[in-house]
Amino acid sequence: MDKLDEITHKRKAAQQKLLSLDSKVYKGFLEMEQATYCDGALPRKVKELIALGIAVQTNCESCMQWHIEQAALCGAGPQEVLEAVEVGIEMGGGPATVSARFALDVMAKVFP
């Protein structure tokens, strides 16, 4: 079993376990997920691509796999998926520049 198949298998097994335990929190999560990814002002495909960028930034492999697969099912092509991945890359680096601004302010005070 390759890594992607293993992630899928573990995700499905965990979902079944939580449902068999009658997890109210997990059921609520699934309802929230359904409400989140339905078409609205933003189509589902766009929402899946947004989630993919966030998944890249948070380094959630299972999330990346899931949202790429879901985006593809919604009609996203490889270039759209790549650009969502690139947004995740930028957002991983971009916030660090904000932290760096604070560090520069501290340095200015400590080393006048």
pLDDT of residue 71: 97
Q: Does the reported pTM lie above 0.95?
A: no
Query: Which of 73-110 are b and which e, b meaning 16 or more Cβ less than 10 Å from the residue's Cβ?
Result: ebebeeebbeebbebbeeeeeeeeeeeeeeeeeeeeee
- Please report the domains of the chain, with CATH numbers, ordered by start residue: 1-37 (no CATH), 42-112 (1.20.1290.10)
pLDDT of residue 102: 81
Q: What are the tens digits of pLDDT across the range 64-85?
A: 999 999 999 999 999 999 999 9
What is the mean pLDDT of each successive set of 10 residues along the chain, which is 112 residues long?
Answer: 91 96 97 97 98 94 95 97 95 85 88 91
